[in-house]
Amino acid sequence: MPSGSKVKFEIGHVLFIDIVGYSKLLITEQSERLETLKKIVRGTEQVRLAEAEGKLLRLPTGDGGALVFRNSPEAPVLCALEIGKELKNHPELQVRMGIHSGPVNEVTDLNEQANIAGAGINLAQRVMDCGDAGHILLSKHVAEDLEHYGHWQPLLHNLGECEVKHGARLGVVNLYSDGVGNPQLPRRFLALKKRRSRTRFAGAAAALLLLAAVVTAFVIVSKKSKGLASNVSDKSVAVLPFDNLSHDPENAYFSEGIQDEILTRLAKIAELKVISRTSTQRFKSSPNDVGQIARQLGVANILEGSVQKTADQVRVNVQLINAATDADLWAETYDRKLTDIFAVESEIARAVAETLQARLTGTAEHVLASRPTENPEAHQLYLKGRFFWNKRTTENLRKAIDYFQQAIEKDPAYALAYAGLGDAHAILPIYAFTAPNEDVPTALAAALKAVELDDSLAEAHTSLANALLFNVQLAAAEPEFRRALELNPNYATAHQWYGECLQGEGRFTEAVAELRRAHELDPLSLIINASYGCVLGEAGRSDEGIAQLHKTLEMDPTFWVAHEILGGILEGKADLNGAAAEYEKSMQRYWTPNGAARLASINARLGKKAEARKTLDDLTTQSRQHYVPPYALAVIHLVLGEKEEALRLLEKCLDQRSIFLQGDYGSPKTDKRLDPLRGDPRFQKLVERFMSGKSA
């Protein structure tokens, strides 16, 4: 700095303006357009007011300039809107603008020549550089300041982070409304997404370890099938979690819902292979590149996007990527009213199907054109219900039930909401340790209503099939599962539950086929991986089942269900010590009455009958205070040689409709722990009742 210079530091609110394509213009065109821009800027009310108050500094550049306002963070934003409105009368003048508030220093030398510099100027320019013609971009810092003024919020549209000089990242917000500004996603953001730089610094150690475990598991799988990529169908796609760009983090349910509904529509196109949501959710905010994700999911294409919801407006950005080449096959931006969201989802699904050249049947056409409800409030409540249903805890399932009921109150003809209500009530007993006969009748009624309202809905038939399954009506559940899979051949959960139904009937070959298909469609689902290992074990393919469960535990060593099922297979192979070790690991992670019964049974077989008796006494005492599945008590009585009491409890279990999945992946038809009863006519009659679905 020259000796004698005077430096004045302050916080400035900077508007940086740039003429796009300036260097490619003829010299005369440059002069004309620069002069036009200057006239527009000088004519704005904000510039006149700031100059009159002595609160404006100008910094000219060759193709635009910077205005530094000293009065308010709103001033440069209001000025940009004024400029944007006037530019509509000058289509030949393509301008972009960037706004930031930060340190500005005015240096005046001995000759009284002023120079403006500072981080505020530099960052405003970098924010501007993230945009294209027509964009008015704000730094995240400015947007947060404006949020204190409520009237700005509908105009602010968060874009996430933009990569600028030296690899740095800036949080950027797009400002547009009523024809002013540019609502399109800037090319810099599309390029950033294409390079897969999507990480949001989600560096929690547990999440990283889990991701590493998932990758390790699938590296092992890939070593055994190096030709996987060449065998993947061109008509296969995974829909990754959509980024939530809304200001309100609670809108996460909405972006998840959009992803889920697009995925569901695609899944009903028979020629496509569509990976289930459970597997794709593992790549939420993941830094992995698209090729690696596609290899792990076994697909050729990836669909990704972002959702921004503000008041009654929604913006959806999507792009379909070929995983092998990282090339964009198709991309689009949709700016619509919230009431048009179903049309957006349909258009996206149709565009993906057409791009991948998948044939649309009449059923698929119907699904793509469907509008599940005309009530946007009901739709929002349904999405919240599914958001909490997917979390699978007692508290969240009860929240889901409440939201589904509210959705039904808003629209009594909303079939999906009834299906959701049926799903939540059907599985609640597993998580809440309540008697199935308390919730299953409600699940059945809701699912029947869903089918009555829309017989073409795969979700409704799956919900009904599952409720029938939990009501021990296996034969009646089968046609509902088959109908659901006709309507949605990519519905992994329907394949899983149907496979478990067949497994309970002892039809192992068919059960293995269904669970194998579920695994192909949802390769990272822990419960599907574990269930697949379980059916392999019960089908007499113990070594394959054990290997499958080890793969599951490589993905998540804390998954208690996998330890429990692995213990069951080892018990079937007479490896009692190995089984006991797995049961103990399961119980350390999550205590259940069925798990306690398994461990007690093993202890009795190992000669530790006193320990088994103590567990039985504890569970019996607990059963007087809250629900304990009689199945768990029956298993321990039986291993202690008390057959009469075991039979009585199994009869009670069947009457309570808790003899199937509450029996912990067993059924009286197939559970080897019940083999000592096989020759008893009373037990044979019980099995016949179980298979027929009769309660008495």
Q: Give dist(CA 350, CA 370) in Å, integer.
A: 12
More confident residue, 658 or 35: 35
Q: Give dist(CA 290, CA 301) in Å, integer.
A: 9
Q: Give dist(CA 641, CA 51) in Å, integer.
A: 96
CB neighbours (10 Å) of residue 369?
12
Spatial CA neighbour of 563 closest among 607, 594, 539, 524? 594
- We report the CATH number of the domain holding residue 108 as 3.30.70.1230
The pLDDT assigned to 108 comes to 43
Asked whether the predicted pLDDT for residue 590 surpasses 50, the reply is yes
Q: Which of 371, 392, 417 is the last residue of a domain?
A: 371
Do 239 and 280 belong together in one domain?
yes
What token pair was written down for 489? 């051949």
Do 252 and 160 belong together in one domain?
no
The residue-averaged pLDDT of 151-170 equals: 77
The pLDDT assigned to 665 comes to 54
In a domain, 444, yes or no: no
The dihedral through the CA atoms of 452, 456, 459, 465 has a sign that is positive
| CB distance 182 to 131 below 8 Å | yes
The residue-averaged pLDDT of 402-411 equals: 96
Asked whether the predicted pLDDT for residue 44 surpasses 90, the reply is yes
In a domain, 425, yes or no: no
Do 160 and 35 belong together in one domain?
yes
Could you give the angle at which helices 508-521 and 492-504 cross, rounded to 10 degrees?
160
Do 221 and 359 belong together in one domain?
yes
Asked whether the predicted pLDDT for residue 225 surpasses 90, the reply is no
The residue-averaged pLDDT of 382-399 equals: 87
Q: Which of 186, 210, 238 is the last residue of a domain?
A: 186
| CB distance 526 to 552 below 8 Å | yes
Spatial CA neighbour of 302 closest among 358, 268, 263, 245? 263
Do 145 and 281 belong together in one domain?
no
In a domain, 585, yes or no: no
The pLDDT assigned to 583 comes to 95
Do 219 and 324 belong together in one domain?
yes
Do 179 and 293 belong together in one domain?
no
Asked whether the predicted pLDDT for residue 191 surpasses 70, the reply is no
In a domain, 388, yes or no: no
pLDDT digits (tens, 9 = 90+) for 517-555: 999 999 988 889 999 999 999 999 999 999 999 999 998
Do 266 and 343 belong together in one domain?
yes
User: Does this model's pTM top 0.85?
Assistant: no
What is the percent of the chain where pLDDT is above 70?
Answer: 86
Do 201 and 179 belong together in one domain?
no
In a domain, 26, yes or no: yes
In a domain, 487, yes or no: no
More confident residue, 445 or 113: 445
- We report the CATH number of the domain holding residue 338 as 3.40.50.10610
Do 344 and 240 belong together in one domain?
yes
In a domain, 472, yes or no: no
Q: Which range has the worst mean pLDDT, 103-107, 525-529, 541-545, 659-663?
A: 659-663
The pLDDT assigned to 61 comes to 65
Question: How high is the mean pLDDT of the chain?
Answer: 84
Q: Which of 371, 396, 426 is the last residue of a domain?
A: 371
In a domain, 583, yes or no: no
Q: Give dist(CA 473, CA 514) in Å, integer.
A: 19
Do 245 and 278 belong together in one domain?
yes
Q: Which range has the worst mean pLDDT, 176-185, 226-235, 516-525, 610-619?
A: 226-235
Do 159 and 205 belong together in one domain?
no
Asked whether the predicted pLDDT for residue 316 surpasses 80, the reply is yes
What token pair was written down for 557? 């060593």
Q: How many domains are contained in the chain?
A: 3
More confident residue, 622 or 163: 622
pLDDT digits (tens, 9 = 90+) for 470-514: 888 888 999 999 999 999 999 999 999 999 999 989 999 999 999
Spatial CA neighbour of 501 closest among 268, 672, 676, 690? 690
Q: Which range has the worst mean pLDDT, 4-13, 382-391, 547-556, 665-674?
A: 4-13
Range of the domain at 73: 6-186
The pLDDT assigned to 666 comes to 66
Torsion of CA 266, 268, 271, 277, to 10 degrees: 50
The residue-averaged pLDDT of 275-301 equals: 79
More confident residue, 492 or 243: 492
Q: Which of 228-242, 379-393, 406-420, 652-666 has the highest mean pLDDT?
A: 406-420
More confident residue, 249 or 260: 260
